[in-house]
Amino acid sequence: MIESSGCRRRRLAARPSFSVDVCDCGAVHLTVGYTTMRLDEGAFREMAAMLSEALSEMPEPRSQRLH
């Protein structure tokens, strides 16, 4: 992925340990702790959809079960 030093990033979302920025060259910067992954937009969308799918398949935590 080509990224020049002149790239400008725009923050899309952030949490204390995570952030997502999009660069004007099209790269998405996903920061998890001390690691930053650079993905193209298509890969990022695919990953987001996959995480959403994984979340929907995940068993509920015991502490949140009502019965």
Contacts with Zn ion by CB under 5 A lie at 3, 7, 23, 25, 27
Task: Give the nearest distance from C-beta 15 to Zn ion in angstroms.
Answer: 22
The whole-angstrom separation of Cα 10 and Cα 19 is 11
The whole-angstrom separation of Cα 26 and Cα 58 is 31
Task: Give the nearest distance from C-beta 26 to Zn ion in angstroms.
Answer: 7
In the complex with Zn ion, the residue whose CB is nearer, 20 or 27, is 27
The whole-angstrom separation of Cα 26 and Cα 15 is 22
Task: Give the nearest distance from C-beta 11 to Zn ion in angstroms.
Answer: 14
